[in-house]
Structure 1
Amino acid sequence: MPLSPLEHDRRYGELDQVIRAYAGQSADDTPNEPSVALTAYLRQTWHTRPWALAVAERQLREYAADNPPGRLRLRLGEFYAIPDVGLPEDETRPWLYCLADHIKHSIEQGEVPPPAMPATHWEWQTRFPELAQFLGGWFSQDMPDEFDDHDAAVDGYRTTTDPHLVARLVGELHELLALDLDESDYALAVAELGMEVDPPAPYSPSGWLALVAGRLSAPRAEYGPGAQADAP
């Protein structure tokens, strides 16, 4: 029978996180150099879930040792089939062992990638999950058909979202703004996080993010599409 969610996570949950980090990235790890994707995974995981690194190292080795699986296990759905990462089939097993070796080295030597601007789509989404939900869910290309303007969309988010999640979003907005990026990088950030419409005039991406953070931080009674705020 197919793997249950619990069994999947026990056997492949963190392996799946590692592989997801390669979405849109090259699996060009070498024994001497981890890829951009693996470095992003190491950076994010060290700073949020360091205990998960050992789990990833073990699951990678166990998967590689059993790869490819027998046809019966595949047919029964009892095996996690990793997404295509652009490698020939005969190179997949050595690559998985290479990833495990890099993670083991990082743990044993305490080599932690320093904090930095996210380098991949996965890292943007993983570092700012509520912001990705907000921008991707409320500011997709359908936003002009669903709301009168950006203020109405922000108001819709606030009135339908648990206050704890709103507070989490405000924290992520401040964290992103604290990176003090160039405006072109803020434009990249909102795109990676799912925003498909431009900020309202006359705001730049960072100016509009600061405006949203301020409005969502204000008492609910003071917030609304008609609220006045100076441009940052």
Structure 2
Amino acid sequence: MSMKPLEFDRRYGELDQVISAYLGRAVDGAEDGETGPDEALQAYLRHTWHSRPWALGIAEQQVREYARNPPGRLRLRLGEFYPVPDVGLPESAIQEWLFRIADHIKRSLEEGQVPPPAVPRTHWEWRARFPELAQLLGGWFSQDMPDEFADHDAALQDYARSTDPQIVARAVGEFHELLALGLDESDCVLALAELGMEVDPPGPFAPSAWMALACERLAVKRGDHGRPADREQ
């Protein structure tokens, strides 16, 4: 019988966050060796230090405990343990790799190695740092957008109309943070793609200009039907 969500989070929740940072990336079991964390782990450390620093100790504990007590095949099949996804390593190398990850996290904590803020460098980090933009861009600006909406403005209006105002405000804040990175246009294209946007910004707007416009329009206070609310007298 598989674990209930509460039990899973208590035992493996932060371990799952660490491993998720590696998904879709080729892992070399010896690539980080003595030189420090690899790019995926750097992304996890950077984001977590600046958003949930208290979770790092939990991550170190869960990763190390899992490495010390790897589950057998039967218990994995029963769903009683966390199954490490395929990260490109042979099964025999997983335990050593996990110990190395735990050691890097421990060293970062003990030495206070707080990575400076930086532009996200992995797919996981983009989505961890801008979760509501990933929801907006991936959900409303996928390749199906032209079949569902008349144009980009209609998609934005539908998002604003169907989403709680507090969540819309979160998206506005993430747009501001993304724009504050000062990306050039080619990097803006990459950022939008990493966050799930599968259609080009509407002409004649450059990617950064469209993001600024979308941010401005979402920031407008709206009434119950998505229209700008009357100004208070």
Structure 2 match to 1:229: none
8 Å CA contact 1:37–1:120 kept in 2: the answer is yes
Offset from partner CA, 1:4-62 (integer Å, 9 cap, x none): 11111111000000000012223333233211000000000000000100000000111
- Given residue 113 of structure 2, which amino acid in structure 1 is its aligned partner? E
Structure 1 match to 2:153: 151
Offset from partner CA, 1:151-197 (integer Å, 9 cap, x none): 10000001111000010000000000011111111000000000000
Superposed, 1:1-232 pairs within 5 Å as: 1-27=1-27, 28-67=31-70, 69-220=71-222
SS in 1 for 2:132: helix
8 Å CA contact 2:137–2:195 kept in 1: the answer is yes
CA distance in 1, matches of 2:203, 2:226: 18
8 Å CA contact 1:2–1:77 kept in 2: the answer is yes
Q: Work out the percentage of aligned pairs sharing the same amino acid.
A: 67
8 Å CA contact 2:160–2:226 kept in 1: the answer is no
8 Å CA contact 1:26–1:37 kept in 2: the answer is no
- Given residue 41 of structure 2, which amino acid in structure 1 is its aligned partner? L
Q: Tell me by how many angstroms 1:74 deviates.
A: 2.0
Q: Tell me by how many angstroms 1:73 deviates.
A: 1.3
- List alignment gaps of at least 5 residues for structure 2: 228-233
TM score, norm. by length of structure 1:
0.93
8 Å CA contact 1:34–1:102 kept in 2: the answer is yes
- Given residue 220 of structure 1, which amino acid in structure 2 is its aligned partner? R
CA distance in 2, matches of 1:75, 1:104: 31
Structure 1 match to 2:230: none
CA distance in 2, matches of 1:34, 1:103: 9
TM score, norm. by length of structure 2:
0.92
* Structure 1 ranges of 4+ moved more than 4 A: none
Calculate the aligned-residue CA RMSD, in Å: 1.5
| Count of residues in correspondence between the two structures | 223
- Given residue 51 of structure 2, which amino acid in structure 1 is its aligned partner? T
Offset from partner CA, 1:101-123 (integer Å, 9 cap, x none): 00000000000111000000000
